[in-house]
Structure 1
């Protein structure tokens, strides 16, 4: 195997790990919100337990990428591919942490009935899940157009976040007994909004990889 073939093979392994990590994060996002919607404490605990596996993949990506830089000494775009893999793994790991935070909200609410059926929060989660999937696909295929399209979904998430906050503030004003749970649900909405920002960060990294300049897709 030539040096180039060896590098491409190692880079392919990095991509596979990022795809696996992305899949795990997608599942964590949906499962954490489903645990909240259904009051499923066991599902919430499983999301928290699974976080260790996500952290392990991030560590593996860091180790493999560092080893690749040391042994292959890549330059230009090849080096950017590895450095961006590091950053993507960091963004995905933080998204997984935010899913854990949502699962912890489920446990804090426990068996207490929800103050309202959850509609917009699950909708946010679905959008964030698609953003996560598309951001990984954009990286794997170096697809700038997909990165831009994915980033536009962040606007939908922001609108839902604002809508949820307005609604929950209304609940708190009308019935002070809902304040504690309303605050927790505000946190959940904020966690999802932050996840969308991390997915957008990945999109920016894809544009930087392909074009050599970093745009502000949150603008």
Structure 2
């Protein structure tokens, strides 16, 4: 029996819907990965961290599935206009989500090292940054599902707040390392974790901009506002209290002979 045009159009619609569903599922996995990675840091939970690292493969599998489906649609359907934007956007968003998973896995990996040393004061800022990142990621995935441009733009605007938190933590960590060299190892891991969260926010913002392109058919006008001034952050010795950097007193002769 020959295939009717109606059947062809219906099958094409189902294929596009499948692509969108795959991307939504991938977004849910990425969101869960970030949340679990931040929780592993806050709880100093090695088991949870290991689970996050192992689950990163799921996002790689999703990206390969989406790439394969998108390439097949491009080759067989020769899409135009909104259909073409749907497929191109899926490729771009899946790449962003895969990178988000990589950053979450790196946070989890570094949490293993952090859990082996005494807790340091700036560590409390990681869950705070994490909550904002989780909200941004959840909202941008919802914006994709709902094709809600206003919600996507709101996520883009919150990236500046995340940059501000990162800069604040960066300065705090530098100060702590100068005050007490024993914190250098954990504080270095914290810096990498914070940078990973800041980059996750950037990728969530990329997704928001892709949603605007998908729905409106053109790129979002205007430069993205950035609040990350850590590149210019300097903590001078004058900013650190003398007592904090004073070397520990040497043991007395009596104590040494005890």
TM-score interval for Structure 1 and Structure 2 normalised by the shorter chain:
over 0.9
The DSSP-based 3-state class of the residue aligned with 1:74 is: coil
Counting matched residue pairs gives: 219
For residue 218 of structure 1, what is the aligned residue in structure 2? 224
TM-score of the two chains, using structure 1 as the length reference? 0.95
**Larger radius of gyration, structure 1 or 2?**
2
Q: Which runs of no fewer than 5 residues in structure 1 stay unpaired?
A: none
For residue 167 of structure 2, what is the aligned residue in structure 1? 162
Among 78, 96, 100, which residue is 2:83 paired with? 78
Among 113, 126, 129, which residue is 1:124 paired with? 129
Higher relative contact order (CA 8 A, sep 6+): 1
The DSSP-based 3-state class of the residue aligned with 1:89 is: helix
Check whether the contact 2:117–2:186 (CA below 8 A) recurs between aligned residues: no
Which structure is higher in helix share? 1
Instruction: Could you list the structure 1 runs, at least 4 aligned residues long, displaced by more than 4 angstroms after superposition.
Output: none
CA distance in 1: counterparts of 2:13 and 2:48, whole angstroms: 39
For residue 238 of structure 2, what is the aligned residue in structure 1? none
Check whether the contact 1:138–1:147 (CA below 8 A) recurs between aligned residues: yes
CA distance in 1: counterparts of 2:68 and 2:146, whole angstroms: 23
- Offset at residue 152 of structure 1 (A): 1.4
CA distance in 2: counterparts of 1:91 and 1:176, whole angstroms: 37
Instruction: Tell whether 2:34 aligns with 1:2.
Output: no
1:157-182 CA-to-partner distances (Å, cap 9, x unmatched) read: 11110111111111011001111111
1:73-116 CA-to-partner distances (Å, cap 9, x unmatched) read: 11111101101100100000000000011011012224222112
